[in-house]
Structure 1
Amino acid sequence: MEQVRVYAPATVANVACGFDIFGFAVDRPGDEVVLTKKDTPGIIISEITGDEGRLPLEVHKNTAGIAIQKYLEHIGRTDQGFTMALHKDMPLGSGLGSSAASAVAGVFAANELMGKPLSQKELLPFAMEGERVACGSAHADNVGPSLLGGFVIIRSYNPLDIIEIKVPEDLFATIVHPQVEVNTKDARSILEREIPLSKTIEQMGNVAGLTAGLLLSDYELISRSLEDVIIEPIRSILIPQFKEVKSAAMAAGALGCSISGSGPSLFALSRGLETAEKVAVAMTGAFKDAEIESEAYVSGINQRGPVVS
């Protein structure tokens, strides 16, 4: 095989109470990489679409490019060269794991063309290097679910320990992206460095409760646990109409609603597709009341991760 086209899904990270440790994949949006072998060493990024000219073509500055480069170094095949085209199908700075999806699509495509010397899970450290380029931190709560699919827990970063857990079949996500932008680095910079013990205990209870609720298919427990008492109160000030949109989601029947990643996208979880679609209408309507245009996506929890398209 000389060329492969790979689509990697967007993700919701943090999932309310699970800052930097929870994430799940959705069906759309996502990013696509077309990777082609070439006869000479080195990676050439020939084209990037959908980014309004904002992403770098230099390999060491590009999330997909650096992920592929680190992968080739690891397997000892720096003699193999590639030409890459990247097609962005989601907005930058959206809180939907845009940089992660690009890195995952790139390294997954490279592994396909090299004959799959590594397992899917073994590709994770290279995709994480793409995240380091994008936001200065090699976190895995976006690349983990984008690469592995489903809902993941990052139990530890040193050593890296990723846990994949089952979720109820009737659990659906609504994601709404308003036409505003929040930079990940900015969103991290405003966070408190010290957390009161009482808030830490409350957040730990929600993390444990959400994990148990998913495993037990206990929707009421999921709903009670989708509360973030540490990050959301601070980051929500960066998102116009946040309180109104969250209230609209809950009134429409959502189990819970919070910020997707660092925002500005919001996500809600619901029981059943019909409810998730009603929640989408309510959330976009609340943004529209403030004259903010937004786009909604409704999806089950994507269990596949990247696919050859």
Structure 2
Amino acid sequence: MESIRVFAPATVANVTCGFDVLGFAVNSPGDEVILRFKEKPGIQISQITGDDGRLSKDPNLNTVSIAIQDYLQRTDWSGGIDIELHKKMPFGSGLGSSAASAVAGVFAINKLLGDKLDTPALLPSAMEGERVACGSAHADNVAPSLYGGFVIIRSYDPLDVIKIPTPKDLYAVIIHPQIEVNTKDARNILKKKIAMQDAIRQWGNVAGLIAGLTQSDYGLISRSMEDVIVEPVRSLLIPAYDVVKNSALNAGALGCGISGSGPSLFALSQEEGVATTVGAAMCDAFRSEKIDSEIYISKINEKGPQVLD
């Protein structure tokens, strides 16, 4: 095999109550990476599409190449690799764009070199790619993109990531409004201290959401999709947030919240038909506020990255 093309999925991080510890993968959108062997040692990025010229082709500055470099250093391989990166998702959307690129890169190079590492061993390299994009090696996007499904990050030191079973009829609706939310602003707006009663309520919701997922208890999932800490402040950065969220719930969604730091919103629904109705209601709500949006509807992506050819 002289080349490989890999797709890695977008992700929803936080999932209402699970700030910085919970995330899940979706079928669409995502990023594609093509890797080829080249004669001259070292890494080069020969092509990037879908970025409107915003991403660097310098291998020391790009998420995908940094992740691949870390993998090659850890596996002690010093050949030549050419990279094509094809962005298939919006920037700054709260859908883990940089994470999908990093995961596609490490998954592709691992396959190209004969599966030198297992999936958990790929995660640190993908996290290094995320560090370049975000300033810190968060795993709440890269882990679900790499593992597929719902993932909880129990600990960073030591790194401890657990994949959670997903109910078979659970669907995700993601809506990306054509507005911008600065990630730095979304971080800075968070409270530095929280009340004990809020912490206790949030812990209960996280435990309930995980129990609901593992038991396929849709009622428990719905009751647990409540965020009393982050959503009340971050929602202020998203115009019409309450209107759109209420439209999703009134249309039958189990719950609705902010994807990552926004501006995208997500909703979980039982069955595809309900998800379609929820998505239409959310689009209509944004449209009523004169805000254009893109919508994605899919089952939870259990596979993670995939070899396309």
TM range (shorter): over 0.9
**SS of corresponding position for 1:61:** coil
Which 10-residue stretch deviates more, 54-63 or 222-231? Answer: 54-63
Provide the TM-score with structure 1 as the length reference.
0.98
Query: Does structure 2 retain, via aligned residues, the 8 Å contact 1:135–1:185?
Result: no
Shift of the alpha carbon at 1:272?
0.6
Tell me, yes or no, if structure 1 residue 52 matches structure 2 residue 52: yes
Tell me, yes or no, if structure 1 residue 212 matches structure 2 residue 211: yes
Please report the RMSD computed on the Cα atoms of aligned residues, expressed in angstroms: 0.8
Q: Match for 1:242: what amino acid?
A: Y
Shift of the alpha carbon at 1:59?
1.4
Shift of the alpha carbon at 1:184?
2.2
Q: Give the aligned partner of residue 264 of structure 1.
A: 263
Shift of the alpha carbon at 1:42?
1.3
Shift of the alpha carbon at 1:185?
2.6
Tell me, yes or no, if structure 1 residue 5 matches structure 2 residue 5: yes
Shift of the alpha carbon at 1:191?
1.2
- Give the distance between the partners of 1:252 and 1:302, measured in 2 at CA: 23
Once the two structures are superposed, what CA deviation does each residue of 1:135-161 show, in whole Å capped at 9, x if it has no partner? 111111110010011110101010000
Q: Give the aligned partner of residue 172 of structure 1.
A: 171
Q: Match for 1:261: what amino acid?
A: G
Provide the TM-score with structure 2 as the length reference.
0.98
Q: Give the aligned partner of residue 73 of structure 1.
A: 73
Q: Give the aligned partner of residue 247 of structure 2.
A: 248
Q: Give the aligned partner of residue 25 of structure 1.
A: 25
Q: Give the aligned partner of residue 135 of structure 1.
A: 134
**SS of corresponding position for 2:173:** strand
Tell me, yes or no, if structure 1 residue 189 matches structure 2 residue 188: yes
Once the two structures are superposed, what CA deviation does each residue of 1:45-75 show, in whole Å capped at 9, x if it has no partner? 1111111111111112111010000110111
Once the two structures are superposed, what CA deviation does each residue of 1:96-128 show, in whole Å capped at 9, x if it has no partner? 010000000011111111111001221000000
Once the two structures are superposed, what CA deviation does each residue of 1:195-215 show, in whole Å capped at 9, x if it has no partner? 111111110000000001111
- Give the distance between the partners of 1:109 and 1:184, measured in 2 at CA: 28
Q: Match for 1:122: what amino acid?
A: A
Tell me, yes or no, if structure 1 residue 102 matches structure 2 residue 101: yes
**SS of corresponding position for 2:228:** coil
Q: Give the aligned partner of residue 42 of structure 2.
A: 42
- Give the distance between the partners of 1:155 and 1:135, measured in 2 at CA: 20
Shift of the alpha carbon at 1:162?
0.5
- Give the distance between the partners of 1:39 and 1:120, measured in 2 at CA: 28
- Give the distance between the partners of 1:193 and 1:130, measured in 2 at CA: 27
- Give the distance between the partners of 2:307 and 2:181, measured in 1 at CA: 31
- Give the distance between the partners of 1:58 and 1:184, measured in 2 at CA: 23
Shift of the alpha carbon at 1:23?
0.5
Q: Match for 1:173: what amino acid?
A: A
**SS of corresponding position for 1:36:** strand
**SS of corresponding position for 1:249:** helix
Shift of the alpha carbon at 1:40?
1.7
Give 1:85-96 correspondences, 5 Å limit: 85-96=84-95
Q: Match for 1:117: what amino acid?
A: K
Tell me, yes or no, if structure 1 residue 276 matches structure 2 residue 263: no
Q: Give the aligned partner of residue 61 of structure 2.
A: 61
- Give the distance between the partners of 2:131 and 2:226, measured in 1 at CA: 28
Q: Give the aligned partner of residue 121 of structure 1.
A: 120
Q: Match for 2:96: what amino acid?
A: G
**SS of corresponding position for 1:60:** coil
Number of matched pairs: 308
- Give the distance between the partners of 2:96 and 2:181, measured in 1 at CA: 13
Q: Match for 1:46: what amino acid?
A: S
Q: Match for 2:185: what amino acid?
A: D
Query: Does structure 2 retain, via aligned residues, the 8 Å contact 1:5–1:33?
Result: yes
Shift of the alpha carbon at 1:307?
0.4
Once the two structures are superposed, what CA deviation does each residue of 1:196-244 show, in whole Å capped at 9, x if it has no partner? 1111111000000000111111111100100011111111111111110
Structure 2 unaligned segments of length 5 or more: list them: none
- Give the distance between the partners of 1:60 and 1:175, measured in 2 at CA: 32
Tell me, yes or no, if structure 1 residue 149 matches structure 2 residue 148: yes
Once the two structures are superposed, what CA deviation does each residue of 1:81-103 show, in whole Å capped at 9, x if it has no partner? 21101000000000001000000
Shift of the alpha carbon at 1:308?
0.6
Structure 1 unaligned segments of length 5 or more: list them: none
Query: Does structure 2 retain, via aligned residues, the 8 Å contact 1:41–1:81?
Result: yes
Shift of the alpha carbon at 1:7?
0.3
